[in-house]
Amino acid sequence: LDGAGGRRSGYITIGYRGSYTIGREAQADAKFRRVARITVCGKTALAKEVFGETLNESRDPDRPPERYTARYYLKFNFLEQAFDRLSEAGFRMAACSSTGTCAFAPEQGGPADDKIWTSYTEYVFCRD
């Protein structure tokens, strides 16, 4: 317990993959897909404190509390819910990063000029 108020200090990173399709000349009817999975990276004890029963530990069971992991994910898929839980636990956003790629989609059965964009975004939260 290092931080103010006797709480552990540390970092938690939230990540997700997203995709969307934009048709001819960036029409206003872009089709967004929902977030499929929100990943959690950080010390096991911090992740369990913040997310409790909504933390899915099946990919890294029995991880010691003081060790880091990048294999957890959340049982819900709403970023706002994750951000609210982090805020309520005293975390603040320290950084974010996003990357994206584009591919044409005719092989998926779409019109020849549709493009599929995929992205990966991470948000880093810290608590002092």
Flag whether pLDDT at 98 surpasses 90.
Answer: yes
pLDDT of residue 20: 76
Flag whether pLDDT at 97 surpasses 60.
Answer: yes
Q: Which two tokens stand for residue 78?
A: 């709403």
Average pLDDT, the chain: 85
**Ramachandran bin of 32, using left for φ above 0, alpha for ψ from -120 to 50, beta for the remaining angles:** beta
Do residues 111 and 11 lie in contact, with contact meaning Cβ atoms separated by under 8 Å?
Answer: no
Q: How many CB atoms lie within 10 A of CB 65?
A: 12
- Please state whether beta strands 68-74 and 92-104 pair in parallel, antiparallel, or not at all (unpaired): unpaired
H helix or E strand, kind and range, residue 83: helix 79-88
- C-alpha 84/C-alpha 95 separation (Å) is 16
- pTM listed for this prediction: 0.79
pLDDT of residue 91: 98
- C-alpha 43/C-alpha 48 separation (Å) is 9
Mean pLDDT of 34-40: 87
- Beta-ladder partners of 30: none
Q: Give the tens place of pLDDT for each residue, 49-86.
A: 999 999 999 888 888 889 999 999 999 999 999 999 99
Mean pLDDT of 90-105: 88
Flag whether pLDDT at 2 surpasses 60.
Answer: no
Single-letter amino acid, residue 48: K
Q: Give the tens place of pLDDT for each residue, 87-96.
A: 999 999 999 9
